[in-house]
Structures are given as C-alpha cells and as structure tokens.
Homo-oligomer: A and B are copies of this chain.
C-alpha cells in the first residue's frame, strides 16, 4: 500500500483479526468492563442474552439462510417440498414451516401456493438486514471480501450522516454521555485489548446515533451495529483500530460540543478513510499475496 503507517501506530491486532476472521470461532470474553449503563430503558432486558437458540425451527432457518447466502442454494432454484424438507431435517411439517416463514419474511425465498418455495435473488432484493447473517455465513473468501469492500464506503456514509445529525441535535446530556464513554474508551485503548475496545466502541457508536435523535438514523445504522456486534462476538481480536483512534474520538466530541458540523465530519472522514484503506489493502493482500507491499 502506498501510505506508510507511522511506526508508533500500528494497526491494532489487524493481522490476528484477519487470521481469526476465517478461522474457527475464538472463545474468550474480556471482562464485564462495558456492562450496560442504568439507562432509562423499560423492562426490555437488553441484548446480553447468550441466545442459545435451541429452537429447532430457528436452527433450520439459520441453516437454510446460510445455504442461500453462501450460494449452495442458488437464486431461482426451487427448494424441496415441505414434506421432504421436514423429513430431511428429521422434524415435522409445522415446525419446518415456521422456518420457511422466517425465510420468507427475510426476503430470502418466495412461497407460492401450489408452486413451491423458490430462492430469491437476495443481492437484488435484499436489505441491510442480511449484512450480519451474510458475514456470519462466511461464504468464499473472495465473496466476503468483495462484499466488505462494497460495504465500507456505505458504512462511512452512514457514519458521516449520523455524525452530522448528532452535531445538529446534541443536547447537554448527550454530550455528557458521549464524553463519559469517550474517556473510558481512550483509557481502554491503552490496554490494546481488542475485544474490550470493540465493545466500548460499540457503545460509543450507539450513543452517537442516539444523539442524532432520529429514528431514521437508528434504522439505517442498526444493521451495521448488528454486524459489528456479531463479528465482535465471534472474533474478539478483530477490531481494526488505527493509532489516531483517540484523536478521532476527541475531535468528534469537541466538534460536537462546539456545534461545528464540518469539523466533526472531517474527523470522521479522515479517520475512516485511513482505516478502510488499510483494511482493504490487507484484504487484497490476502487474495493476492504476491502483491503484498514491503513495510
């Protein structure tokens, strides 16, 4: 890659992460440092349930979804009949149908009475909801990298938009909340513990999005946050955190407090362009190792 990194600010754990990304699941949890703050949420318990999903229908749903997302079941192809599928999965038709209903709702198949179930072309008709399951499905390396390359600029757009709205609509309590998380996060950054920082950054992003006070932003950002969280759980060591990470956080907070929209956008753009450039470069060097540059 063209732009050399400052020796003092290497990409944190990136190559470890890349190796982990396509390797069996890693165990490990980096302590309870980022437990939920006692926010004003209702009795909604939060997303800290381990979700064992011993659910048969759900298991089948996930399996079929995976098969579709990695291309084992191609678009336009017809699924076996419900009776056949049920016996394949050693269950009954009712349970199997629940799985099919979920596939249908996820736009992965279309069901027509008398004609069977056909796989949809999810690349055409899907939505960002598929991002997390797609990364989780882990198709071919090439495929995943292509999708990621595609997603990264979109993510940057979303983040810029979220940042913009946050600057416009932040109130005092938003800024306090974000400042608090930022301080914790910068402290955590010193530990170089990828999983811990990852969780903290997730909270930071959530707070930033909340600060926009916009349902639209939340809805756009949620699939990205989901994908982030899922990947974080699977590959705690993955997170690409460039050396300027604390600077980015501070710049954003300061611009937020000053109401300086352009400065906040600039900080975001600068940071993510850096990170993404490195990330894409590394991804490409995984595909074509001969093109790998000298450090």
Chain A residues within 8 Å of B, Cβ to Cβ: 42-44, 57, 75-76, 94, 97-98, 101-102, 104-106, 118, 120-121, 123-131, 147, 150-151, 153-154, 157, 161, 165, 214-220, 222-223
B130 touches A43 (CB 8 A): no
- Beta-carbon nearest neighbor of A161 in chain B: B157
Contact B76 A42 (CB under 8 A): yes
Indicate which residue in B94, B131, B151, B216 contacts A154 across the interface (CB closer than 8 Å). B216
CA distance in complex: A185, B106 (Å)? 33
Q: How many copies of this protein are present in the complex?
A: 2
With known contacts A105-B106, A154-B220, A215-B147, A76–B44 Cβ distance under 8 A: yes
Question: For the complex, what is the distance from the CA of A55 to the CA of B42, rounded to whole Å?
Answer: 34
Q: Which residue of B lies closest to A214 (CB)?
A: B150
Whether the pair A154, B147 counts as a contact (CB closer than 8 A) is no
Q: Is the CB of A219 within 8 A of B128?
A: yes
Question: Chain B residues near A98 (CB, 8 Å)?
Answer: 97-98, 101
Check if A126 sits within 8 Å of B216, measured CB to CB: no
Q: In the complex, what residue of chain B is closest to A55 when comparing beta carbons?
A: B113
> A44-B76, A102-B105 given. 8 additional CB < 8 A pairs?
A44-B75, A102-B104, A124-B218, A126-B218, A127-B129, A127-B219, A147-B215, A153-B161
Please give, as numbers and ranges, the residues of chain B lying within 8 Å of A42 by CB-CB distance.
75-76, 121
- The answer on a CB contact under 8 Å between B129 and A129 is yes
CB distance from A130 to the nearest CB of B (A): 7
